[in-house]
Structure 1
Amino acid sequence: MTDHIRIETNNRLVTVAFSRPDKKNAITQDMYQAMADAVNAYAADEENRALMIKGDGDYFTSGNDLRDFATAPADHDIPPVVQFLHAIKDCPKPLIAAVNGPAIGVGLTLTLHCDLVFASSNATFSAPFVKLGLVPEAASSLLLPEVIGTAAANDVFMTGRTLTAQEALAMGLVSRVIDESEFADAAAAIARSVAESAPNAMKHTKALVRDKNSAITERMASEGRIFSDQLKSSEFSESIAAMSEKRAAVYA
């Protein structure tokens, strides 16, 4: 278990918060396990009717804790990150992302599995996988082009560029942009309204909109195999070394 995931339940709304602000909410395997367990418990629970993911502090999340990933023992039949990705993919009930500050890597890609994505006016989005010698995950290589178009998705993936909240809104990546000063209260209020809606109608609506699960499952598996190989590659090793030494990476 981990203290870096904060879970609260109030009026049928579950809030799951990245709570590692001193590390920019970088996600460890223990954090993934806690989130997977929380989402699966919510999916099986008839009482709670909406789940909101947010970040404590100035970041939504800076993405995976790469050092944790590089040193994590291979003692899981299904790694926690895979458990989490399948939990959000398969969840039949509303998932909401409340993005405050930077959403980097999986911080962006997890939102593609959320039904509503609210962005603070100070939010940014980026997926700099290639800059780390890695590849997209969470079926984002399938889902992001569907949402924003192939050309725009290539711009995000291949250049690692950062999108502002307004750019993300214009592309259709987020549902609404809310002023930073009002964001926490406004996002929570909308999430509560979702939790108060007719639960069966909400489930059916979600299922109708997201009727492509098999393709997403296959893409996650393909990405996962390549991602795992890249974690063992000289490109990833060079990326980590460059980060540690505060220099530009040089790839052979």
Structure 2
Amino acid sequence: MTTVPSTTGHVLVEDADGIRSITLNRPDKRNALTVEIYETLAAALADADRADGVRVVLIAGAGGAFTGGNDLKDFLNNPPIAEDSAVSRFLQAIATCAVPIVAAVEGPAVGVGTTMLLHCDLVYATPDARLHLPFIDLGLVPEAGSSLLLPKLIGHQRAAQMLMLGEPLSGEQAAAVGLVNAVVPSADLLATARAKAAALAAKPPGALRRTKALMRGHDREAVLATMATEGRIFGELLRSPEAVAAFQAFFMKAAAKG
């Protein structure tokens, strides 16, 4: 049953057996995120909190990719500057979601594709997963509270390697530093993540939500405050000469590749 339909079919939302499966479905663009996709994701997550039958959310990508990050043309045409932008509403929704979130990561997880994982409770990845945070290369700063959450999770030096140097991690490297729970073969990824989601859905729902709230609650205000600060600086830098030059270089490189 599709609960929160996407107008273009780029997000598939299905509820079954207490699990809300959210699948990014734009494989020809490596599931790059547009405003429309962010709007659908935000609605699906917010509704999951209110829906009595939803006990767990499972996020995955179609076609061998989690997400290549933002669709940069759409992103620049619709910059997420306003506090109520679709991007902001998605980040707020995933950061405050009361039900557990399980992620299945295959292939690229670029930018927000990695930072959103910091708000998931269980993450499973394939060996070819590539967690990449190239914000600084675009003249920007991190988002989704990652400047707080990532150093806390993997340590300052490793976080600097990802956020300052922009060096990606493979699935196995991400597992070694605690960014993902386990690495599984591509053929088993979705089944593994769904089995873990089913195990969570079988737990007493009230205790499950309260356990997540206890685990996340002591950081909640700090995370939301960090997200607000990141968003303000992100918006300022998006208009900067550095960022303009970086985006121009990116599009020129992409055009040269054909």
TM-score, structure 2 normalization: 0.92
* 2:164 counterpart SS class: helix
| Residue equivalent to 1:114 | 120
Alignment: residue pair count: 247
- Structure 2 partner of 1:244: 251
Please identify, of 74-83 and 49-58, the stretch whose mean Cα deviation from structure 2 is larger.
Answer: 74-83
CA contact (8 A) 1:14 1:52 kept: yes
CA distance in 1, matches of 2:36, 2:66: 17
Matched residue, 2:198:
192
Match of 2:238 among 226, 231, 238: 231
Q: 1:136 aligns with which of 139, 142, 145?
A: 142
2:53 corresponds to which of 35, 39, 47: 47
Deviation, structure 1 residue 76: 6.4
Report SS of the residue matched to 2:114: helix
Aligned partners of 2:151, 2:83: CA distance in 1, in Å? 31
Q: Which amino acid aligns with 2:119?
A: H
Answer whether contact 1:5 1:16 (CA < 8 A) is retained: yes
Instruction: Assess if the C-alpha contact under 8 Å between 2:135 and 2:166 holds in 1.
Output: yes
Q: Check conservation: 2:137, 2:166, Cα contact below 8 A.
A: yes
Q: Which amino acid aligns with 1:207?
A: A
Query: What is the percent sequence identity of the aligned residues?
Result: 41
The 5 A counterparts of 1:210-229 are 210-211=216-217, 212-229=219-236
Counterpart code for 1:201: A
User: Which has the larger displacement, 182-191 or 142-151?
Assistant: 182-191
Structure 1 CA distance, aligned partners of 2:81 and 2:191?
Answer: 41
Q: Deviations over 1:66-99 (max 9, x none)?
A: 2112111789660000001000111111111111
1:9 aligns with 2:23: no
Task: Give, in whole Å, the separation in 1 of the partners of 2:221 and 2:63.
Answer: 36
2:223 aligned partner, one-letter code? I
Q: How far, CA to CA, are the matches of 2:210 and 2:177 in structure 1? A: 26
Where in structure 1 do 4 or more consecutive aligned residues deviate above 2 Å?
A: 73-77
TM-score w.r.t. length of structure 1: 0.94
Pair 1:82 & 2:88 matched = yes
- Give a deviation string over 1:88-139, Cα, whole Å, max 9, x none: 1111111111111111100000000011111122211110101111110000
Q: Give the alignment of 1:60-71 within 5 angstroms.
A: 60-71=66-77
RMSD: 1.5
Q: Deviations over 1:159-192 (max 9, x none)?
A: 1111011111110111111122211212112111
